[in-house]
Structure 1
Amino acid sequence: MTAPLHDARRGTSAARLPDTQQSMRRRNLSRVMHTVAAHGPLSRAAVASRIGLTRAAVSTLVDELIRSGLLAELGPERPGKVGRPGSALAVSARGPVGIGAEVGVDHLAVCAVDLRGETRARAVRPARNRGRAAVPVLEELSLLVDRVCAEARQAGLSPAGLAVAVPGLVARDTRTVVRAPNLGWHDIDLTPLLSTDLPLTVDNEANFGALAELWLGEESPEDFLHVSAEIGIGAALVVDGQVLRGAHGFAGELGHMPVRPQGAPCPCGGRGCLEQYAGEEAVLRAAGLDPGEDRVGLLAERADAGDKAVRKALRGAGTALGIALTGAVNLLDPRAVVLGGALSRLAPWLLPAVEEELKERTAGRACGVTVSRLGPDGPLLGAAHSVARAVLDDPAAISRAE
């Protein structure tokens, strides 16, 4: 079992090392962990070859990571290799896990992801959160977090932290939701409202969705614009593998970009915002359908069956989304646009109009639009993986609990 605290008394006398040696050791521990996580099982010799350290140096690092419960030895490598077989190393199946949580307009979700990237526990609850006070919503979320953490601990895992994805603006380097129009929240600090002792991170759901696409997507570039489209529409720009957050942490509010300046009023206070024409509820209204439990599923079913009203509504949504994306593409010049979130299931009927608008309106070279395979799970997975990857980035902060 592991604990999310580093005990400097254990392992090497790292606390007595000079800062430069301490920093180098921490970086090398991280390099070993990332290498085994990405390419394992590997022998010590294979790890040393990949990261350019001596086998002796790698063995010392590996021994420390094994003592900390982060790596495990699987036994001799597969037969057939020349020379004496080394012991294969893998990321431990009984180490830390990242806990990710999501507050959606119509649901709450929590999952636990281990250092191998596998989801080990998950809980989802439908919830009508629009207009609800933050306190009861976060009380329900805390219960789900407790359930997932208990399930993880029963499997010999140790929660290393909690990251919460919310559909709103989060002040940079804080846990405060400044504004979430689709929830009706303003200036809500989640810290005292979540009953957890875990280290806490809060971020916009589109940012976590973009990180999930970067880490888990198929051949995602290092530079792309990720669109998370559901009831609300958010976006995140990834540049050189990092999310561009803006001066206050508010970058990416694509859903509140006006596409019809004198159009329908929006909960944000503006008029003609993209969400009023391309969000789930807007498409349902345009198609003349009543909201149900599986709104996107209903739209996809009707569109696939050739329902003219639904297809017209989806084309209108695609046109509005294409107009908004054109402004973003002209300003930011991303290498690609990735459509995620629940509306990614409607891509066959949305994309033709999106691509048409991009082709006609983009000043330079129009970038391609792809569809995320993560769909609506992106923000939740991105939140959980952000905690797990923080352990890989600094494994020295984790030690075996006494």
Structure 2
Amino acid sequence: MRARNLAVVLDAIHRTGPHTRAALAERTGLTKTTVSSLVADLLEAGVVTESGAVRGGERGRPGVAVSLSGHRVATLGLEINIDYLAACVVDLTRTVRLRRTRPADNRSSNPAEILERLRDLAKETTAEAESAGLRVIGAALAVPGTVEGGVLRSAPHLGWRDVRVEDVIDLPLAIDNEANLAALGELWFGSRDTDFLYVSGEIGIGAGLVVGGTVFRGTFGLAGELGHVVVVPDGPACRCGGRGCLEVYAGQDALLGPLDSVAALVARLESGDPRALEACERAGHALGVALTSAVHLVDPGRIVLGGIFARLFPWLEGPVADGLGARLGQMRGTPPALVVSGIGADAAVLGAAGLVIQRILADPAEVLGL
């Protein structure tokens, strides 16, 4: 009962706070004595703080406001991507306190070597956070592949199969697909809409469907493999074994061609280079075809383009929107809004850190050992 009440009080502070203790008692239906005891525990754990006098729940009497604290407790987000490793530390107010990225070529790599580098990055970032007075209490890891029971079952671009990564750091660690976590990152740190389809453009292309503030994962956790939707049935071979997949036309490798970075592609686009413009036109057309099927199937209100698609949005928006409008026709009327991610390439690592924050808010007694 006490654990449930701690969660109820913390949720009220998070969703509609700051509140006085009297106002919390009124909102939660708990007694003032119970609320005072619970707030004292949360204060001791460092997850809430008290500030100056405000008008409270009792007539005419000022009280002290209780709000989430960003000063003591934090979470760690980690990401393994094809060409980089990333880490970020986020406090309970969802303020990013540290962000670190290490460029790397992780294609067809040795899992042990990459996980050792990730471990070093996590230790370095955690130590820096602790030197700033933060206690990092948990972590989550975004990976470019399918996950089951803490095991990375398949990450074709990494060349990994059945890799267990739970013991990579000395913290409780969750692991999830990067597109799912990027969608949650957009939910918690970006647009904060509760219903949208997030499309993550990287070397692979994934998607996360957020419905009512929750990611839809499918029966086996494999929902969102947009990159392997077929857009040209007799098209070029894809590394998945199929032909004509979206990834072949709109993945990072297809967009860059001989260029070595997204920054180089953006520079070419800004200068009006015909080949760069043609690559984006082709990618946008293919993306419009794939998204038409997604819209017919799941009917999202908004489509958010993230990852490298966020940087290329000015050149992709037109072709994607034209493709959607032409194919949806009169069946749907107005196509869903097509928008750019508010957090770009950081979405997955922020979503990973946010996942741990959500677990604290849902069960502070368990996570914090109260």
- TM-score, length of structure 2 as denominator length: 0.92
Question: Could you say which residue in structure 2 is the equivalent of 1:259?
Answer: 231
Structure 2 runs not aligned, ≥5 long: none
2:177 to 190, 204, 214: 204
Matched ranges for 1:161-176 at <5 A: 161-171=138-148, 174-176=149-151
Matched ranges for 1:350-361 at <5 A: 350-361=316-327
Partner Cα separation in structure 2 for residue 219 and residue 178 of structure 1: 30
Does residue 279 (structure 1) correspond to residue 247 (structure 2)? The answer is: no
Q: Kindly tell me: are residues 188 and 77 of structure 1, through their superposed partners in 2, closer, same or farther at Cα, counting changes over 3 Å?
A: same
Question: Could you say which residue in structure 1 is the equivalent of 2:7?
Answer: 30
Question: Could you say which residue in structure 2 is the equivalent of 1:339?
Answer: 305
Q: Give the Å deviation of 1:77.
A: 3.6
Q: Give the Å deviation of 1:27.
A: 3.5
Question: Could you say which residue in structure 1 is the equivalent of 2:288?
Answer: 322
Partner Cα separation in structure 2 for residue 227 and residue 161 of structure 1: 27
Matched ranges for 1:37-186 at <5 A: 37-77=14-54, 83-171=60-148, 174-186=149-161
Q: Is the 8 A contact 2:360 2:368 kept in 1?
A: no
Q: Is the 8 A contact 2:88 2:350 kept in 1?
A: yes
SS of the residue corresponding to residue 332 of structure 2 reads coil
Q: Give the Å deviation of 1:55.
A: 3.8
Q: Kindly tell me: are residues 219 and 141 of structure 1, through their superposed partners in 2, closer, same or farther at Cα, counting changes over 3 Å?
A: closer
Partner Cα separation in structure 2 for residue 271 and residue 360 of structure 1: 24
CA displacement 1:305-338 (0-9 Å, x = unmatched): 2222211210110000011111111111122211
Q: Give the Å deviation of 1:52.
A: 4.9
Q: Is the 8 A contact 2:166 2:174 kept in 1?
A: no
Partner Cα separation in structure 1 for residue 36 and residue 314 of structure 2: 51
Partner Cα separation in structure 2 for residue 118 and residue 50 of structure 1: 26
Q: Kindly tell me: are residues 399 and 214 of structure 1, through their superposed partners in 2, closer, same or farther at Cα, counting changes over 3 Å?
A: closer
Q: Give the Å deviation of 1:297.
A: 2.1
Partner Cα separation in structure 2 for residue 246 and residue 400 of structure 1: 32
RMSD between aligned alpha carbons?
2.2
- TM-score, length of structure 1 as denominator length: 0.85
Q: Give the Å deviation of 1:39.
A: 4.6
Partner Cα separation in structure 1 for residue 315 and residue 165 of structure 2: 38
Q: Is the 8 A contact 1:224 1:336 kept in 2?
A: yes
Amino acid at match of 1:119: V
Q: Give the Å deviation of 1:136.
A: 0.4
Q: Kindly tell me: are residues 301 and 82 of structure 1, through their superposed partners in 2, closer, same or farther at Cα, counting changes over 3 Å?
A: farther
Larger RCO, structures 1/2 (Cα 8 Å, 6+ apart): 1
Partner Cα separation in structure 2 for residue 252 and residue 394 of structure 1: 28
Identity rate, percent: 47
Partner Cα separation in structure 1 for residue 246 and residue 307 of structure 2: 15
Q: Give the Å deviation of 1:49.
A: 4.4
SS of the residue corresponding to residue 86 of structure 1 reads strand
**378-387 or 347-356: bigger deviation:** 347-356
Q: Is the 8 A contact 2:70 2:95 kept in 1?
A: no
CA displacement 1:287-317 (0-9 Å, x = unmatched): xx421xxx22222222122222211210110
Q: Give the Å deviation of 1:176.
A: 1.2
